[in-house]
Amino acid sequence: MQMIIGGALGRMGRELTLAAEAAGVGIACGVDVAYTGQPVGYPVVTGFEQVKETADVIVDFSRPEALPELLKLAVDNKIPVVLCATGYTDEEIAMIGEAAKHIPVLRSANMSLGVNVLCELVRMAARTLEGFDIEIVEKHHRMKVDSPSGTALMLYDAAQKEKGPETEPLYGRYGRTQKRTDGEIGIHAVRGGTVTGEHEVGFYGNGEQVVLTHRAENRALFAQGALKAARWLADKPAGLYSMRDVVLAMLG
């Protein structure tokens, strides 16, 4: 398999490079706006519109700003895409949906298999723990730009789909002067130090608590998940997929 890496020189791009090399996956080209000509072992360009190489899949860990050029390259050349960036706008999400009519696109806010298993556990808990209050707390390093994390929102969506449309997110409680309502799910963000990533979903009932936690100890696990997603997606028909599809396929 040959792969194009978006954000090739960033932290996750470098992790994906190492994972691909270890797995015997070829890297046809890298794309990174910060590229200044330094050798990295494979061709690198500063924009997707400059890519001349062909590949079996594109894995993107760059920024949402690169999405239009990325999707044009992918659709024009019928290349499946794994989108690992977070912070997409509604307009950009619509662009992704349109592209998925023509090519397979897998989009996930978190490429960790463990986090996506956590999502399944959250669905199960939200479905069965009737009357329990739900709170989500996420922690990341001080350099993370978006808040709350895309993974926290993914976990909220998992719970909300089970609880129903009357459920709504509550981002922190600063200035609140009323007691907790039955329909709210609290979402809280912590930023500091070098925390790779931690997500906790708590279910608080009458006399008991169930707390589900995932801690990322290093970034390599996200690269491994992205690589697994890329291999899974490469032969799929056009459509919009997620890491949940990968996890469910593993479960049979």
pLDDT digits (tens, 9 = 90+) for 191-214: 999 999 999 999 999 999 999 999
pLDDT digits (tens, 9 = 90+) for 4-60: 999 999 999 999 999 999 999 999 999 999 999 988 999 999 999 999 999 999 999
What is the rounded CA–CA span in Å between residue 226 and residue 16? 8
CATH number of the domain at 2-111+219-251, out of 3.30.930.10, 3.40.50.720, 3.40.50.1110, 3.40.309.10?
3.40.50.720
Is 195 buried (19+), middle (13-18) or exposed (0-12) by CB count in 10 A? middle
What is the rounded CA–CA span in Å between residue 235 and residue 50? 25
Give counts: helices (H), strands (E), the chain.
7, 12
Q: Which residues are catalytic?
A: 140, 144
> Which has more confidence, 250 or 33?
33
SS3 of 105, please?
strand
Domain range list for the chain: 2-111+219-251, 113-216
The pLDDT value given to residue 219: 87
The pLDDT value given to residue 146: 87
CATH of domain 113-216: 3.30.360.10
Give the rounded percent of residues in the chain with a pLDDT score beyond 90.
88
Residue type, 189: A
Whole-angstrom CA distances from 182 to 164, 168, 237 are 12, 10, 41
Whole-model pTM: value is 0.83
What is the band of 250 on the pLDDT scale with cuts at 50, 70, 90? confident
Q: What per-residue string of b and e applies to 30-47 under the rule 16 or more CB within 10 Å gives b?
A: bbbeebeeeeeebbbbee
What is the band of 251 on the pLDDT scale with cuts at 50, 70, 90? confident
What mean pLDDT is reported for the chain? Answer: 95
pLDDT value at 109 more than 90: no
SS3 of 88, please?
coil
